[in-house]
Amino acid sequence: MRVLAVAVSALLACAGAQAQTLIPPAAIQTAVQLREQALADRTGWQVVESLTTEVGPRMAGSEADARAVAWAEEKFVQLGFDRVWTEPVTFPKWERRSESARVVGAFAQPLQITALGGSPGGQIEAEVVRFADLAALQAAPAGSLAGKIAFVDYRMLAARDGSGYGPGSAVRSKGPSEAIRKGAIGFVMRSAGTDSHRVPHTGITRFDEGLTPIPAAALSVPDADQLSRLLERGPVQLALALDCGWDGQYTSHNVIGEITGSQRPEEVVVIGGHLDSWDLGTGAVDDGAGVAITMAAGHLIGKLPTAPKRTIRVVAFANEEQGLWGGKVYAANRAGAGELERQVIAAESDFGAGRIYAFNTGSPDPAGSRAATAQIAEVLAPLGIELAADKGGPGPDISPLAAIGGAWGWLAQDGSDYFHLHHTADDTLDKIDPAALAQNVAAYTVFAWLAAQAEGDFGTTPKNP
């Protein structure tokens, strides 16, 4: 504990005279025990195995969405959470029925594609015009793609922190609307992915107001290579057939399990993942892992002989994939009920199942929690996790809460291979390393427990909407 004391003293010196949130030594000792126990525990694996096997793919609004909600309620009960409840989340339902693409003409052949979430259906056959990236499409003259299919061939790069996804996903979110503005009747893109398999990457797209949506799809990486090679030989005519689209509203649920606090039960430490997945895989790394990691963390804290001071709340968020619907409802409901101040800190695991390598917290008023953050980091350090001051941010479903003043925790996972699998058929259980998953559970258990025991807050400061 000596090293820790020195570190905290230094932080206090830096922070000046402001009162610091601190974690009592007894809580630290328990955290060390929890950490070692979690590393040897199989609960996280069992939970993700159960979800991906028994429910499988669970796209928001699908038949399996309701089964996933029922699964989560039952799993929380099985794992000993003492309060299990749901909150409704309503959103438009998008369906994928069938999809195919083929090159026609002299080099006729099928190409593997998948519709982007939100795409309308349609059958078109047109010449393909390739753009190296989104900027090149944006630079095309208005009307220049009249009657054509735009193809954005941007190759996403792999990175531990997933930083390649920003430009990769921008092609998906902005490309179709840009293509429409240039006159295109269809849009295809090289998948926002880093693998080399015939598994196209889906994901939500949106069409800007006032535009008439066009069929939009992603090619697998080898198929984008192929289309690019074909285009080197001359004009390519592509036939695209998508049967998909929006169909009414659907109400799913955020599913919530709690380990009730013994001293300040109304104050909650929120951890979670999202319960929905895309339909192509079984949602193992996105985001069965996040649900399992945080359910297991809550379970391990719940098994302690003494309850945490604050409530540990594990949230399995509804429909993250199509627009953070569950996260937005969670934040709006807390704000609406005047509970925002009681959201002590919140963290979502939604970046796969790779080992956590960095940790930080943040809030509108972070100065007072720097010492407690350093204390948590000291307990995380043996897991190979470094304190990354001034880095990170809230997970996707936490971002609506953070936007209105909620404090967030950031436990950064190694995402080097996350985009090999993300939003593809290949997102299946075999891609999860049980030891790495247990390291995640250990980290979330330590984080949630220590945040619940901290004397003082993490800087949650409700903002006026």
Binding site for its own copies (CB under 8 A): 49, 53-57, 63-64, 103, 106-110, 112, 196-199, 221-222, 225-226, 229-230, 233, 281-282, 424-426, 428-431
Supply the minimum distance, in Å, between the C-beta of residue 23 and its own copies.
41
Supply the minimum distance, in Å, between the C-beta of residue 242 and its own copies.
17
Q: In terms of CB distance, is 278 or 444 closer to its own copies?
A: 278
Is residue 418 a contact partner of residue 351, using CB atoms and an 8 Å limit? Answer: yes
Please list, in sequence order, all residues whose beta carbon lies within 8 angstroms of the beta carbon of residue 205, skipping any fewer than 6 positions away: 116, 117, 118, 119, 172, 173, 175, 176, 216
What does the DSSP 8-state code read for residue 156? Answer: P
- Other CB atoms within 10 A of residue 332 CB: 15
Is residue 303 a contact partner of residue 247, using CB atoms and an 8 Å limit? Answer: no
Q: In terms of CB distance, is 279 or 348 closer to its own copies?
A: 279
Q: What are phi and psi of 216, to 5 degrees?
A: -135, 130
Please state, in angstroms and rounded to a whole number, the distance separating the CA atoms of residues 443 and 42: 14
Q: In terms of CB distance, is 369 or 424 closer to its own copies?
A: 424
Q: In terms of CB distance, is 432 or 451 closer to its own copies?
A: 432
Largest CA distance in the chain: 76
Q: In terms of CB distance, is 52 or 177 closer to its own copies?
A: 52
Look at residue 90 and give its three-state secondary structure: strand
Supply the minimum distance, in Å, between the C-beta of residue 198 and its own copies.
4
Please state, in angstroms and rounded to a whole number, the distance separating the CA atoms of residues 267 and 147: 57
Supply the minimum distance, in Å, between the C-beta of residue 134 and its own copies.
23
Supply the minimum distance, in Å, between the C-beta of residue 69 and its own copies.
15
Please state, in angstroms and rounded to a whole number, the distance separating the CA atoms of residues 430 and 52: 10
Supply the minimum distance, in Å, between the C-beta of residue 222 and its own copies.
4
Supply the minimum distance, in Å, between the C-beta of residue 414 and its own copies.
19
What does the DSSP 8-state code read for residue 51? Answer: I
Is residue 130 a contact partner of residue 231, using CB atoms and an 8 Å limit? Answer: yes
Please list, in sequence order, all residues whose beta carbon lies within 8 angstroms of the beta carbon of residue 108, skipping any fewer than 6 positions away: 102
What does the DSSP 8-state code read for residue 204? Answer: B
Q: In terms of CB distance, is 105 or 393 closer to its own copies?
A: 105
Q: In terms of CB distance, is 222 or 364 closer to its own copies?
A: 222
Q: Please name the helix (run of DSSP H) or strand (run of DSSP E) that holds residue 188, with its range, or none.
A: strand 186-190
DSSP string, 312-363: EEEEEES--TTT-HHHHHHHHHHHHTT-GGGEEEEEE--S-SSPEEEEEEE-
Supply the minimum distance, in Å, between the C-beta of residue 431 and its own copies.
7
Q: In terms of CB distance, is 144 or 196 closer to its own copies?
A: 196
Q: In terms of CB distance, is 169 or 424 closer to its own copies?
A: 424
Supply the minimum distance, in Å, between the C-beta of residue 92 and its own copies.
23
CA-based nearest residue to 151, from 210, 106, 101, 98:
101
Supply the minimum distance, in Å, between the C-beta of residue 284 and its own copies.
9
Supply the minimum distance, in Å, between the C-beta of residue 183 and its own copies.
29
Q: What is the 3-state secondary structure (H, E, C) of 227-264?
A: HHHHHHHCCCEEEEEEEEEEEEEEEEEEEEEEECCCCE
Q: Please name the helix (run of DSSP H) or strand (run of DSSP E) that holds residue 221, with its range, or none.
A: helix 221-233
Q: In terms of CB distance, is 54 or 82 closer to its own copies?
A: 54
Q: In terms of CB distance, is 10 or 157 closer to its own copies?
A: 157
